[in-house]
Structure 1
Amino acid sequence: MIKMSHTVALATLAATAMFGGVAFADSGSGTAKVVMDEERSQVTVVGEGNLAVVPDTMRLNAGVEVRRGTAGQAFADARKAAARLTRALLKAGIDSKDLRTSELSLGPEYDTYPKVSGYRAAQGVEAVVRDVESADRVIEAAVAVGEEARLNGVSFEVSDSRRMLRAARDAAFKDARARAEQYAQLSGRELGHVLTISEESVTPPRPMTFGAGMAADRSSISPGQQSVSVTVRVVYELR
Structure 2
Amino acid sequence: MTKLSVVLAAAAFAVAGLQAAPALASAPPVPVTAAPRPAGDNVEINVTGQGSVQATPDVMRLNVGVEVRRDTASEAFAAARTAAGRLTAALVGAGVAEGDLRTNDLSLGAEYDKYPKAVGYRASQGLQALVRDLSTADAVVDAAAGVGDDVRFHGITFEVSKAPALVKEARAAAFQDARAKAEQYAALAGYQLGRVLKIEEEGDGGAPRFAYAADKASIEPGQGTITVTVRVLYGLTERDD
What TM bracket, shorter-length normalisation? 0.5 to 0.7
Q: Percent identity?
A: 43
Whichever structure has more strand as a proportion of its residues is 1
Give the Cα–Cα distance (whole angstroms) in 2 for the partners of residues 113 and 133 of structure 1.
Answer: 50
Contact 1:92 1:138 in 2 (8 A): yes
Give the Cα–Cα distance (whole angstroms) in 1 for the partners of residues 91 and 187 of structure 2.
Answer: 61
Q: Larger Cα Rg: Structure 1 or Structure 2?
A: 2
Tell me how far 1:62 sits from its aligned partner: 0.7
Where 1:146 maps in the other structure, the secondary structure is coil
Tell me how far 1:217 sits from its aligned partner: 7.2
Give the Cα–Cα distance (whole angstroms) in 1 for the partners of residues 190 and 115 of structure 2.
Answer: 85
Aligned match of 2:180 in 156, 178, 181?
Answer: 178
Where 1:76 maps in the other structure, the secondary structure is helix
Give the Cα–Cα distance (whole angstroms) in 2 for the partners of residues 73 and 223 of structure 1.
Answer: 43
Where 2:229 maps in the other structure, the secondary structure is strand
Residue 227 of structure 1 corresponds to 226
Runs (5+) with no aligned partner, structure 2: 1-32
Give runs of aligned pairs for residues 78-97 of structure 1, distance below 5 A: 78-97=80-99
Residue 124 of structure 2 corresponds to 122
Whichever structure has more helix as a proportion of its residues is 2
Residue 8 of structure 1 corresponds to none
Residue 67 of structure 1 corresponds to 69
Q: Which amino acid aligns with 2:224?
A: Q
Contact 1:104 1:122 in 2 (8 A): yes
Q: Deviations over 1:70-121 (max 9, x none)?
A: 3333222221211111111112222212111112222332333333332222
Give the Cα–Cα distance (whole angstroms) in 1 for the partners of residues 58 and 230 of structure 2.
Answer: 25
Where 1:88 maps in the other structure, the secondary structure is helix
Give the Cα–Cα distance (whole angstroms) in 1 for the partners of residues 39 and 190 of structure 2.
Answer: 17
Residue 14 of structure 1 corresponds to none
Tell me how far 1:173 sits from its aligned partner: 1.5
Give runs of aligned pairs for residues 1-239 of structure 1, distance below 5 A: 2-3=34-35, 37=37, 39-40=39-40, 44-51=45-52, 52-183=54-185, 186=188, 191=192, 194-199=195-200, 201-205=202-206, 208=209, 219=218, 221-222=220-221, 224-235=223-234, 237=237, 238-239=239-240
Q: Deviations over 1:170-218 (max 9, x none)?
A: 11221122234434555677x565342422523533664869xx77975
After TM superposition, the score normalised by the length of structure 2 is 0.67
Runs (5+) with no aligned partner, structure 1: 5-36
Q: Which amino acid aligns with 1:71?
A: A
Q: Which amino acid aligns with 1:66?
A: V
Residue 27 of structure 1 corresponds to none
Tell me how far 1:38 sits from its aligned partner: 6.1
Give the Cα–Cα distance (whole angstroms) in 2 for the partners of residues 108 and 156 of structure 1.
Answer: 35
Runs of 4+ in 1 over 6 A off after TM superposition: 214-217
Question: Whose relative contact order is higher, 1 or 2, with alpha carbons under 8 Å and at least 6 apart?
Answer: 2
* Residue 38 to residue 151, structure 1, CA distance change in 2 (3 Å): closer
After TM superposition, the score normalised by the length of structure 1 is 0.68
Tell me how far 1:58 sits from its aligned partner: 2.6
Give the Cα–Cα distance (whole angstroms) in 1 for the partners of residues 140 and 215 of structure 2.
Answer: 11
